[in-house]
Amino acid sequence: MRALLCHNPTAGAKGHDKDAILAALKLADIDVRYISLKNDDWEEALKEAAKKSFDLLVAAGGDGTIGKILTALPDRSLPVALLPLGTANNAARSLGIAGTPQELVETWKIDNTCPLDIGSAKAPWGTSLFLEGFGVGLFPDFLRFAAKGRKPEGADNLRKGREILEKTLKEAEPIEIDVSVDGKALRGEFLGVEVMNIPFTGPGLPIAAKADVADGKLDVVCFEADKRKALIEWLGAPLDAAPPVLSRKAEKVELTWSDAANRIDDRYFDDNKGKKLIAEIACEKKQVQIVVPQKHPAQQAQGKAASA
């Protein structure tokens, strides 16, 4: 099997670097070509490589890296395997993918895939594709605060991120935003609105708990001002209960706002003060094909024994 490895060399802990990943792929008898996302021409290299006869694309890095690769993918029929090397790993979490490169590569079968939607936001600046979500207000402000200072590693990074989000929640003011869900207005006093493509975002939070990664729909998540306290409490144990948010599924979403920051995946934009902006958001028609790890018979047997 021939694979193209797209890798962020600054992601991951010791033992998950370029050489370790290449060794893991070699162990699985995979012939690899390597592209670093630190090269300025990586997108051109990806397009050129896509013209050649690769059987698999391997995306190795954190959520930002995986999002960049999947939204830039020129041929969405090419199976993509994820090696999550970040802290939150929201994309991999949403797909049930977890493990080290050494553990994951031997579970790959290129015909064992699941489809994954890619989101599209059409706004005054053009059309932008996203993997996680498009948001206005709360989460863009969180990203702005989180970008300051040095990031801790591992679980400490998640803990720090949730602390920053809690502080952002406490200081957030209601935003001026109109929300249209499949042509119907969604009204309320909101601290922020997220249009989610996958369940997880931010510091490993399932804010769109009912999101389906392949249904061609987006989950509109509104953070209501009068649920501020409940949201802060939920951050203490976000996997124990559904988030206290107003949520709706939609094929088409329109957001109209002013005097608030917006975000596209892990990038935030706060230079639109005083401007009225409109974004039309939907899923792309063509989906990405993600390789889902296949369990070994021994693991399947363990699962049956545990449920007996």
pLDDT at 51: 76
For 29-71, the DSSP string reads: T-EEEEEETTSTTHHHHHHHHHTS--SEEEEEESHHHHHHHHH
**Cβ(28)–Cβ(105) below 8 Å:** yes
Q: Is 135 helix (H, G, I), strand (E, B) or coil?
A: strand
The reported pTM is 0.92
CATH superfamily of this structure's domain 2-117+286-307: Probable inorganic polyphosphate/atp-NAD kinase; domain 1 (3.40.50.10330)
pLDDT in tens, 117-166: 999 999 999 999 999 999 999 999 999 998 887 776 777 889 999 999 99
pLDDT at 171: 96
Looking at CATH, the fold of the domain delimited by 119-283 is given as: Tumour Suppressor Smad4 (2.60.200)
pLDDT at 12: 67
Taking alpha carbons only, the member of 30, 33, 36, 27 closest to residue 8 is 36
Other Cβ atoms closer than 10 A to 272: 18
Q: List the chain domain ranges.
A: 2-117+286-307, 119-283
Rg of the chain over Cα atoms, rounded to whole angstroms, equals 20
Other Cβ atoms closer than 10 A to 192: 28
Residues of the chain with pLDDT under 70: 12-15, 152, 295-308
pLDDT at 191: 98
pLDDT at 269: 93
DSSP H/E element including 23: helix 18-27
